[in-house]
Amino acid sequence: MWWRAIIAGLVVAGVSELADRFPRLGALLLTLPVISIVAFIATWNKNQDLNTISQLARETLILVPLGLPFFIPLAFSERLNIGFWSAFAAGILLATATIGLWFWLGPQATK
């Protein structure tokens, strides 16, 4: 499955290069669910199980919004006068808190 790693690497490199010159286009590329699409196809090719795909999609629909707090400190780092690494760490803590609360308090996963 080396091709998944190549696609992920190309997306990261593409976003990085594009964001240097055109931050909005870099953000657009970042928001495209390229990795999700590849993961769905790879999971389907491996298992041919629509139940697994459906459960993966439902969990993704829940977890994507819960991960969005990661971006808040980065988006407001200039106004808050905090550096990149501080904003990055705060974002990771926020996303960890929201996702962690979901895993702790949300319904248990089935499989």
- Give the single-character DSSP code of 81: T
- Alpha carbons 74 and 7: distance in angstroms, whole number: 26
Tokens of 6: 């190549």
Band of residue 32 on the pLDDT scale cut at 50, 70, 90: confident
Q: What is the reported pTM?
A: 0.73
17 pLDDT exceeds 90? no
What average pLDDT does this structure show over 66-77? 96
Task: Report the helix count and the strand count for the chain, using DSSP H and E.
Answer: 7, 0
What average pLDDT does this structure show over 5-17? 82
pLDDT of residue 1: 66
Tokens of 62: 């829940």
As a whole number, the mean pLDDT across the chain is: 88
Band of residue 30 on the pLDDT scale cut at 50, 70, 90: confident
